[in-house]
Amino acid sequence: MQVPILSEEIAAGRNPEILFWVGCAGSFDQRAQSITKAFVTILNKVAIDYAILGSEEMCTGDPARRSGNEFMFQMMAYQNIQLLNQYQVKKIVTACPHCFNTLKNEYPELGGNYEVIHHATLIQDLINEGKIVLKEGGSFKGKKITYHDSCYLGRSNNIYEAPRNVIMALDAELVEMKRCKSNGLCCGAGGAQMFKEEEKGNTRINFERTNEAINTKATIIAAACPFCNTMMTDGIKVKEKEDEIQVLDIAELIAQSI
Amino acid sequence: MNFIPQILFLLSFLAAVYLFAKKIGSIKRNIFLGVSENLSDHPEKRWKNVFLLALGQKKMFKNLTVAVLHLVIYLGFVIINIEVLEIMIDGIVGTHRIFYGFIPSLYPILINAFELLALGVIIVCVIFLYRRNIIHLWRFKNADLKGWPSKDANFILVIEIILMCLFLTMNATDTLLQSKGFGYYNEQLTGNFIISSFLHPLFNGFENTGLVFIERTSWWLHILGIFAFLNYLPWSKHLHIILAFPNAYFARLTPQGKFNNMLAVQQEVKNAFHPELAPTEVGSILKFGASDVNELSWKNVLDAYSCTECGRCSNACPASQTGKLLSPRSIMMKTRDRAEELGERLDKGMDIQDGKSLLNDYITEEELRACTTCNACVEECPVSISPVDIIIQLRRYLVMEKSTAPQEWTMMFGNIENNFAPWKFSPDDRSKWIDTFNS
């Protein structure tokens, strides 16, 4: 499969319409790499004019900023913005809500102004425009799917419906957890928690959230964030439910249905 | 004519207003101990927040039953104040039910409405006392409220019940005296009122003088109770009935996920990349982040004073709900306690250097480390408070001034600096996933 690299595209005189910001999880984390591949499969299939930054991409600085290291955040932001502006990037899509939030909300006042969309929104648009054509009687038809809201997509940016609409397009049965949408419970990874041991408590946040998902009797937990995906997958493993319940990104749901 | 009651009334009124104004003045001073920050952009959006969030209590309606119950108390509180206006004029001028003379036909309708609300307030206060003390609701039984805060909440409900009972007793005895054609009560024949008339049997056995005594005592205790309550507000979580309004106005308008930019750091980083553009003079020494109330934004301190200690934040907080030490409500309560402590020093003519700080003496590192910045607390708060904003400023102080971070975070910083990713992978391997794609 061909994945265009922005520097090469520009060297060849092409100017891709949209940059796919892969993010660190999507690039390095084994589980998240599958999400990246699924999304790229979709992009290629509908012939989107895109490219990735490849080895030029850097951490947006999100975990640094949330843990309190504003210096490191500013360092990363500065370098990324320099690069993006140099390439005259106009539009960015990303499968990571943390990258999405940083690029969309925090880069503009530092000089980085782009149209930033999350992959859930792009996929929904492509379905609506008829560019993504789903298989008749796909493998998720009639399946019970619950959607776990990512905090940085939901509360932070008010994107609740796009991922849900994508799930509905699969003819699946969308079941909601007790705490959903603006009341959604965090998976426990945000605020740079992903990169450290959880503080002392009587349970882990991802266990709590996974229990809620299990209670819906869904066979698939859909996520739209690589970190949520990891946390929920771990929770399912600890509950020894991995044979009954799968944690899948919405890009994976769609990639498996086209 | 005997002017003594009027003089006593005026004196107690002036004392109440003076003491209240003085306390509000010191709270205002405490709030502005915080760093100045301009939050007056987009006034149209801000007014909208005032109407929707403060006046309309939009967030309360996440739970319809509680919202309606709270609304009854709130409306009771606001609307019955029209009656208080009459009491004030009567008290100062020495009249009795002065509004009756101007609006004789409308008057009974108004008082009936007030009485219905008063009954509503009593019923709801009893329900709220039951919710707080009998049902084991997590947010009311949680350790945050141990001691004074829990008493404060009950105290307010009891005062409200007493004030409403005094109001009804005053009306019941007044209308009884009217029916007996006694004294000046005979001059404002309002007729019986809808709720207080049910209290008549309680007072039927009294002589006129006894009734007058009860009526006058209720009248005085009711208004003196209101004066006392006014002065209790600033010491209590009940201050939210005033501060919810400015707090909604000055609430941040940016998406919840957007963190405040630190301009000074932005500039320093720019200078590091372009040393040729950096100013040669050494600027003032900056402190990054906050370790005490006077280093937070004034809005954070206003938040703390607006907090109604309802605990919806902690009830939604993933850390609090999984037994972590962090409770966003407690972050706000501690910030207010610390602001009050500094204020007391200023009241005594001392400076604010007492060798203590909000960080460590009030809020521990462990609490700060538990936050996932998920903003569930911000989303829940009915009075537009952001505990996350305080947590992040204290985190910034810890990392940038104290260079203390959990070891894993220190490693993460190192990875970002050296490998441009929070994990220890070579930047050259960033697109290695493409190879596995094709295999």
Instruction: Give residue-wise pLDDT tens across range A18-41.
Output: 999 999 999 999 999 999 999 999
For chain B, how many helices (H) and strands (E)? 20, 0
Per-residue model confidence (pLDDT) at position B285: 64
Contacts of B258 in chain A (CB under 8 A): 101, 105-106, 156
User: Which chain B residue is nearest to residue A37, measuring alpha carbons?
Assistant: B437
Residue B197 CB neighbours (<10 A): 16
Please answer yes or no on whether A151 and B374 come within 8 Å at the CB atom: yes
ipTM, two decimals, is 0.96
- Asked if A209 and A233 touch (Cβ cutoff 8 Å), the reply is no
Residues B234 and B367 in one domain: no
Domain match, B229 and B147 both: yes
Q: Is residue B257 part of a domain?
A: no
Per-residue exposure over B319-348, b if at least 16 CB sit within 10 Å of its own CB, e if not:
bbbbebbbbbbbbbbbbbebbbbbbeeeee
Would you say A89 and A50 are in contact if contact means Cβ atoms under 8 Å apart? no
B181 and B297 in a single domain? The answer is no
Same domain, B419 and B394: no
Residue B411: inside a domain: yes
Residues of chain B neighbouring A22 (CB-CB closer than 8 A): 430-431
> Which pLDDT value is given to residue B283?
63
Closest CA of chain A from B427, distance in Å: 6
- pLDDT score of B284: 64
Do residue B153 and residue B299 come from a single domain? no
Residue B103 shares a structural domain with residue B134? yes
Position A137 scores a pLDDT of 79
Interface size, chain A vs chain B, as Cβ–Cβ contacts under 8 Å: 214
Reported confidence tier of residue A44, pLDDT bands at 50, 70, 90 = very high
Once rounded to an integer, what is the mean pLDDT over residues A214-229? 98
- The answer to whether the Cβ–Cβ distance between A188 and B372 falls below 8 Å is yes
- Is the same domain home to B175 and B322? no
**C-beta separation of A26 from A226 below 8 A:** yes
Does B331 fall in a domain?
yes
Q: Is 3.40.50 the CATH classification of the domain at A135-255?
A: yes
Spell out the per-residue pLDDT of chain B, length 439, in tens.
578 999 999 999 999 999 999 999 999 999 999 999 999 999 999 999 999 999 999 999 999 999 999 999 999 888 888 889 999 999 999 999 999 999 999 999 999 999 999 999 999 999 999 999 999 899 999 999 999 999 999 999 999 999 999 999 999 999 999 999 998 998 889 999 999 999 999 999 999 999 999 999 999 999 999 999 999 999 999 999 999 999 999 999 999 999 999 999 999 999 999 988 877 766 666 789 999 999 999 999 999 999 999 999 999 999 999 999 999 999 999 999 999 999 999 999 999 999 999 999 999 999 999 999 999 999 999 999 999 999 999 999 999 999 999 999 999 999 999 999 999 999 999 999 999 876 5
CB-based contact A28 B268, cutoff 8 Å: no
N- to C-terminal Cα separation, chain A? 16
| Partner-chain residue, chosen from B256, B322, B376, that has the shortest CB–CB distance to A204 | B322
User: If you average pLDDT over every residue of chain A, what do you get?
Assistant: 97
Query: Distance, in angstroms, between A234 CA and closest chain B CA?
Result: 17
pLDDT of res. A136: 84
Given this structure, which CATH class describes domain A6-123? Answer: alpha beta
- A96-128 pLDDT, tens digit per residue, is 999 999 999 999 999 999 999 999 999 999 999
The amino acid that residue A150 corresponds to is S
- Tell me if B164 is assigned to some domain: yes
Strand partners, A220: A145, A246
**pLDDT on residue A117:** 98
**Interface with A, mutate which of B321, B434, B438 (most A CBs under 10 A):** B434
> Is there a contact between A191 and B273 if contact means CB atoms under 8 Å apart?
no
Q: Residue B289, exposed/middle/buried by CB under 10 A (0-12, 13-18, 19+)?
A: buried
Number of helical (H) and strand (E) elements in chain A, helices listed first: 11, 8
Give the best residue of A73, A96, A199, A200 to mutate against chain B (max B CB count within 10 A).
A199
Taking alpha carbons only, the member of B180, B167, B249, B253 closest to residue B215 is: B167
Look at strands A91-94 and A173-175 and give their pairing: unpaired
| Distance in Å, alpha carbon of A135 to nearest chain B alpha carbon | 23
Domain count, chain B: 3
What pLDDT sits at residue B136?
85
For residue range A55-86, list pLDDT tens digits in order. 999 999 999 999 999 999 999 999 999 999 99
Query: Which residue matches tokens 């919405």?
Result: A250
Measured distance CA(B1)–CA(B4) in Å, rounded = 9
Beta carbons of A27 and B430 less than 8 Å apart: yes
Instruction: Answer whether residue B41 is part of any domain.
Output: no
pLDDT in the model for residue B341: 97
Contact (Cβ atoms closer than 8 angstroms) between residue A50 and residue A43:
yes
Whether residue B224 sits in one domain with residue B192: yes
Q: Which chain B residues touch A189 with a CB distance below 8 Å?
A: 372
Residue A44 vs residue B136, higher pLDDT: A44
Per-residue model confidence (pLDDT) at position B81: 80
Segments of chain A assigned to CATH 3.40.50.1860: 6-123
Determine the structural domain holding residue B413 and report its residue range: 405-439
The pLDDT assigned to A30 comes to 95
- CB-CB under 8 Å, B268 with A74: yes
* Residue of B316, B366, B395 lying closest to A183 (CB–CB): B316
Strand (E) or helix (H) holding A247: strand A246-249
Closest residue on chain B to A52 (Cα) = B431
pTM: 0.95
